[in-house]
Amino acid sequence: MDYPQKHGKIAFGADSVENSIKKKTVKLVIIAEDASERTKDKFKKICEQFDISMIQMADIETLSKSIGKKNKAILGIQDINLSREIEKINNGGEALG
C-alpha cells in the first residue's frame, strides 16, 4: 500500500510533528482523542503559536493504522490539499473524488 507519508505529505510522532511545525511545513495537526492530556495541551499551544488548525479525532490505533504505523498519537499534514479535505470531512462535508 502507498501511504501518504512516503510522499512527504504526513509527519508523525510528537518530535517529528513539532519539528515540522517549527519549519512551517505543517498545515493541519491531527491528534488522537486518547492521546495524553499533556500531549494535547502541548500541541494546542504550539498550534496556536504557529496559527495551525488542530483537530482531535479517532484513537491512537486508528490514526496509526491510517498511515501504516504503530502507536502514533499525532499526525502533521503537510499537503495543503490533503489538509483541506480532512478538515472538510471533519466539519461534515464530503470528500472530493
pLDDT greater than 90 at residue 26: yes
Which residue from 8, 15, 17 is spatially nearest to 82, judged by alpha carbons?
8
pLDDT of residue 13: 93
**Which tens digits make up the pLDDT trace of 39-94?**
999 999 999 999 999 999 999 999 999 899 999 999 999 999 999 999 998 888 77
Task: Return the pLDDT at 3.
Answer: 45
Taking 90 as the threshold, does the pLDDT of residue 1 lie above it?
no
Residue 78 in domain: yes
The CATH number assigned to the domain holding 44 equals 3.30.1330.30
pLDDT at 6 (0 to 100): 47
Q: What is the mean pLDDT of residues 6-24?
A: 89
Residue 65: inside a domain: yes
C-alpha cell belonging to residue 6: 512516503
Q: How many domains does the chain have?
A: 1
Measured distance CA(2)–CA(21) in Å, rounded: 24
